Structure 1
Amino acid sequence: MGDRDFEEQLRGLLAEDAYAIRPSPVPYPVIRRKGVVERRRRAAAAGAVLVTLAAAPVGAYALGGPDGAAHTTAATPSVSATYAPTPTPSPTPSGPAGPATPGQLLDGITLAQAADGLEKCLAYDRDIAANRVSPGPDSFDQDLGAADDYRIILALNSTGDSNSPGDGRYIVAVKEKPTETRLICHIKDGEASGLNTSVGGDRQPDSPPVLADSNGGKLFRQSAIDQGNWKLPFRWGVIGTVEPSVARVTVSYGDTTAEAALDHGWFIAAGVLEQQVTRTPRIKGYDAKGTQIYDSDQDPTYQKTIQ
């Protein structure tokens, strides 16, 4: 048999037995186990990546550049809104308004102390009205209102004399509505000891541009019984009203001259008397140009001597 015959016989045998050859069975359990292990490995690797990202600064991340290298972008601070609660407004304090200038509260008297004195004097007036048996034909009972209605324009120490022994303090308060009212309240030993009231105002159509208060003498005068023998030094005050044309007021008493404060149509001056006097304070008023438009020495309605 030649080589060619042998080759053809071998091909025939192979062709006849082709369908009899069976491949080895696929090891499925082994393949499945390897797949599970691979998935677990990948899951663990992904978890490690998440932990790393969580530990990195907020906003820091890497970008791949065209050269394939990693380029880090700087972290951007995170922005967060902070809740700011609306502040609760503090309650508005009650009580009378204060004066236009600090110099109207004298001798260390605070606004709170002056307001307390005013409250006591208003209560004092209500008690008198409630206990009055017969008001009489020429008297009247009028509610002076609450302390909140007033503005304090002067507070100063008072000096006792033979007619009213014991030092104390005067509180002067005014209100415009419903009726113009002026109170001179006297506090002694922490209690109200007297109240002078002017309702309706002193100013008339023919009044001068500067008008001293008709009952303000108690603020600058000691008892007439002690005339020539007043206790010195003596704290004094002068009050009154002014027209809008008045820009400046001065008050001279004894050997001193005081610049008055102008407060919503009122003038208020104060000083300390170091000598015995027989004449009342001299009052002068000036307009905005500095021209004198009033002099109490030229006013026939002004009391010029102490009586």
Structure 2
Amino acid sequence: MSGEKQGAEAEPDFEERVRALLAGDASALRPSPVPYPEIRRRGVLERRRRRLAVGGAALAALAAVPVGAHALGGGSTTTSPAGPSPTVRSSPRPTATPKPTPSATPTDPARPASASQLLDGITFEQAAGGLGKCLDYNKANRLPKDPSYTDLGRPADYRIILAMRSTGDSNAPGDGYFVVAVREKPTAARLICDIKGGEAAGLNTSTGDPFGDSAMPVIPDINSGKLYQQSYLDKGNWKLPFRWGVIGGYRSSVARMTVSYGDSKGEAVLDHGWFVATGTLHRQVTEAPRLRGYDGTGKLVYDSDQDGSYEKTLP
């Protein structure tokens, strides 16, 4: 009995000593530090692994869709065989080269230097047409074997220098229009043609150098009277208002010309060696137009009143 009692009393002492020892060891133990860098590295690797897995799944899904299949906004869907799409190269559409057209032979005369030389609403086309009728008129009225006949050529050989209305008189009834044209080659020529009723009614021509053997800086055309006077039979009783004109040659020393006739005055147009002056009379006249020419400095170099070969009064 006494032995059992002593053993029982010994156990509590032993347990207490064990607990004391364990408590001391526990207070001496410290937890080891957390390995944070290693944990973060493993986390990053894990996220990468998951992304690769998801990306691989997406590529696999795309590979299962046929190439060219689209359905956007409810539009129609078209499919094409799976495989690489062909490369399409865009190149500019070739421009068709126009076929060359044969050059037409010029048939129209040259235009005057100034629009003011086409008067009274007469167009260039009308003047050119009138010139063509004048040349046809010349051929149609050729006398058989006439040694004096001169072929006046084609309209394209000429330059129109004046077109204006013509007033009929007792010698040549009916109004119409005048066309005045000149050419340089093959022989110098000047035409004054009267068109009435759409047909050539009269033609006056001169050939050769308009100056002849004259050394004057200005030479009025000897047949200008056809443009600035009515018939002698109607002297003192002209139809008014009356459109008139005067033409002639000028040399390079002349830079400017003026003209006065009855109650009208004005400047002449200088056109490639020919001067052209026009106006409108509102009263009867007895004297011919007076012409004056000036050089580049304004000096008077010609005055028709001082020209002995110029008819200063009307017949």
TM range (shorter): 0.7 to 0.9
Runs of 4+ in 1 over 4 A off after TM superposition: 40-43, 82-93
1:263-302 equivalent positions in 2, closer than 5 A: 263-302=271-310
1:177-192 equivalent positions in 2, closer than 5 A: 177-192=185-200
Contact 1:180 1:201 in 2 (8 A): yes
1:34-113 equivalent positions in 2, closer than 5 A: 44-45=64-65, 47-48=66-67, 50-51=68-69, 81-86=92-97, 94-113=107-126
Residues 82-107 of structure 1 deviation map (CA, whole Å, 9 limit, x = unaligned):
54445678866631111000000000
Amino acid paired to 1:256: S
CA separation of 1:228/1:87 partners in 2, compared to 1, >3 Å: closer, same or farther? farther
SS of the equivalent of 1:119 reads helix
CA distance in 1, matches of 2:99, 2:284: 57
TM-score, normalisation: structure 2: 0.70
Q: Which of 253, 259, 263 does residue 267 from structure 2 map onto?
A: 259
CA distance in 2, matches of 1:214, 1:79: 74
Amino acid paired to 1:96: P
Deviation, structure 1 residue 43: 5.0
Contact 1:180 1:200 in 2 (8 A): yes
Is there any run of 5+ residues in structure 1 with no aligned partner, and where?
A: 1-39, 56-77
Amino acid paired to 2:299: T
Amino acid paired to 2:108: G
Amino acid paired to 2:92: A
Q: Which of 232, 238, 242 does residue 250 from structure 2 map onto?
A: 242
Contact 2:107 2:154 in 1 (8 A): no
CA distance in 1, matches of 2:95, 2:129: 39
CA separation of 1:245/1:79 partners in 2, compared to 1, >3 Å: closer, same or farther? farther
Is there any run of 5+ residues in structure 2 with no aligned partner, and where?
A: 1-59, 74-88
| Range with bigger deviation, 243-252 or 80-89 | 80-89
2:127 is matched with which residue?
114
Amino acid paired to 1:114: A
CA distance in 1, matches of 2:99, 2:120: 36
CA separation of 1:80/1:291 partners in 2, compared to 1, >3 Å: closer, same or farther? farther
Larger radius of gyration: 2
Percent identity (aligned) = 55
1:137-148 equivalent positions in 2, closer than 5 A: 140-148=148-156
Residues 29-51 of structure 1 deviation map (CA, whole Å, 9 limit, x = unaligned):
xxxxxxxxxxx977533x34x44
CA distance in 1, matches of 2:300, 2:98: 52
SS of the equivalent of 2:141 reads helix
SS of the equivalent of 1:237 reads strand
CA separation of 1:187/1:287 partners in 2, compared to 1, >3 Å: closer, same or farther? same
Deviation, structure 1 residue 258: 1.6
1:156 aligns with 2:164: yes
CA distance in 2, matches of 1:134, 1:87: 50
Residues 24-69 of structure 1 deviation map (CA, whole Å, 9 limit, x = unaligned):
xxxxxxxxxxxxxxxx977533x34x446x99xxxxxxxxxxxxxx
Amino acid paired to 2:141: I
CA distance in 1, matches of 2:140, 2:121: 29
Deviation, structure 1 residue 288: 1.1
Amino acid paired to 1:155: A
CA distance in 1, matches of 2:217, 2:239: 33
CA separation of 1:268/1:86 partners in 2, compared to 1, >3 Å: closer, same or farther? farther
Contact 1:202 1:214 in 2 (8 A): no
TM-score, normalisation: structure 1: 0.72
1:229 is matched with which residue?
237
The Cα RMSD (Å) is 2.7
Amino acid paired to 1:291: K
Number of residue equivalences: 240
Deviation, structure 1 residue 172: 0.2
SS of the equivalent of 2:201 reads strand
Contact 1:182 1:201 in 2 (8 A): no
Q: Which of 195, 216, 224 does residue 208 from structure 1 map onto?
A: 216
